[in-house]
Structure 1
């Protein structure tokens, strides 16, 4: 066994520049600080650490600190087996998630993950978003945790694919950094000396004004995602144009069913109603009524497929 003063500090490759506070007393008092072979070069240089000697020599030294990326490094494993104290660096779960995604996408990872592109992943982003939306509407907390994770996976996946782009690569750190910059710049009343915002409505107006200024948009409908569901799109356009003072009588004035639907959805959003959410709620309630009527018919020995109009009216829940 070696003296208890021998210490192994684990600095995971995901956080090579981060060491726990508990490691610093050992680093300051150590006679020698060594870097294991698996420690990234920048971390080794920052610590001014010497390359670790052979394990057989290392275990005979006293009052040493070895900084390693993993406990599997031969030098780290030798010290740990000999009884050295281990100081670990906890890795946040978000960082671990990015590491897992990186491994799945890298050589030796998952063949399916390696083949995906931004285009092939689009359907999953849409599906996972709607599954999360359903969990929120149902108030299912367990499902929300799972579906939020699935949506996060899509963000990590797209960022990992983007990092491989030969012309314009960027990864999850750049995505996160731009998000932070946006949140700070859009909340000057919180992070700066902007005007005081007293209500959520005022903040929403200021958010749109700042966004318009930052992006230098030429049209009030610039930035509206045209690929969103039609009811939500009509509502968004109605809301955006309402802020600009576009009157309702300029909405599509035809008599087609599509034009009528547009006017209803756009006007509803101006009135403070989410047409997409409300319509989905009605549709889900209708689906439940169908199931209830079918169950009532089967209880009477009647197959729902045989029901005619009067039969449906008879079994329809009141």
Structure 2
């Protein structure tokens, strides 16, 4: 058998029964090692030779357990072509980052026309599942928490203000996305707004992962991880969507909301509709939330009266909520218009 050599040399005319076949097997490091596709296992068992340059590749223990003889080698393109001579199949287990040196070399050889090339095949052995990049975020956060002088000293309390800031920036990005139709250059504006929305969602996600990472370090028996956070919200979503995961039915958004409120009430066992309403949120949003709870519960609650702008704003916010308008968003839109008017007044020659 022609095995891959470890010395460099010029490409030579291969002998034997054809130029053979070279398979580059790629795997995702975000999938549990050993979980390979059936075509990948077939190619591994059918290859005349299997090589891998990385002695620490996470797939190697599982390949050897399956009876695959994997040689540690980093062949050049010329060496790989020679090893395939005589109709042999050589499979290269690629690293997570791929092997740019090898693939570029094969492309160069193929373009030169100097030697008959083996059949070249790129075979994905495993694929990233949706959400797989979240694993990268968790790993990066773990390392930053340990090695970064700033991040390693942060606490829930110290980070709280950033969560608020990022939430507001996300809301601003969402509203900017919805206002693109007012821009004459809508296509470019939409692209920019979409990029901003994606970035702000990432910043909010970072806050979640950061706080979960800090929570892992608790030594008073209250520790939890980001997996516990995800498990909790999964359980909540499943329980509050019996029309999706159970035997209940819902054909309208109103019926869905009724399911949600009913199951939530059963979970929380609250004695007042005001429980769970954060008082630290902006005043208009707070008023709208309270008014929504009152309206949904069918309560007849007269508005408190008194002197001052506060009570006038309270009445206006309750009326807006009843009419289906978010008073906080409406005031922000008006404030943006006011800002634009200020800028126009400031412009030279105004």
CA 1:105–1:64: 2 relative to 1, 3 Å: same
Superposed displacement of residue 14, structure 1 = 5.8
1:155 equivalent among 208, 211, 215 = 208
Aligned twin of 1:305: none
Aligned twin of 1:106: 143
Aligned twin of 1:311: none
Superposed displacement of residue 85, structure 1 = 8.2
1:268 equivalent among 320, 342, 350 = 320
The answer to whether 1:120 aligns with 2:146 is no
Superposed displacement of residue 9, structure 1 = 6.4
- Contact kept in structure 2, 1:188 and 1:194, CA below 8 Å: yes
Superposed displacement of residue 150, structure 1 = 1.8
Superposed displacement of residue 258, structure 1 = 2.3
Q: TM-score, normalised by structure 2?
A: 0.65
2:240 equivalent among 167, 173, 186 = 186
The 5 Å alignment of 1:179-218 reads 179-195=233-249, 197-218=250-271
Q: Following the alignment from structure 2 to structure 1, what is the Cα–Cα distance between the partners of residues 127 and 89?
A: 24
- CA-atom RMSD, angstroms? 4.2
Gaps of 5+ in 2: 5-19, 74-82, 99-104, 106-117, 178-192
Aligned twin of 1:299: 349
Alignment partner of 2:132: what SS? helix
Superposed displacement of residue 103, structure 1 = 2.9
Aligned twin of 1:314: none
Q: Following the alignment from structure 1 to structure 2, what is the Cα–Cα distance between the partners of residues 266 and 17?
A: 58
The 5 Å alignment of 1:52-67 reads 55=72
Gaps of 5+ in 1: 73-80, 301-318
Q: Which has the higher contact order (CA 8 A, sep 6+)?
A: 2
Count of residues paired in the alignment: 291
Q: Following the alignment from structure 1 to structure 2, what is the Cα–Cα distance between the partners of residues 277 and 21?
A: 53
CA 1:160–1:31: 2 relative to 1, 3 Å: farther
Q: TM-score, normalised by structure 1?
A: 0.71
Aligned twin of 1:172: 226
The answer to whether 1:25 aligns with 2:42 is yes
- Contact kept in structure 1, 2:50 and 2:91, CA below 8 Å: yes
The answer to which of 3-12 and 159-168 deviates more is 3-12
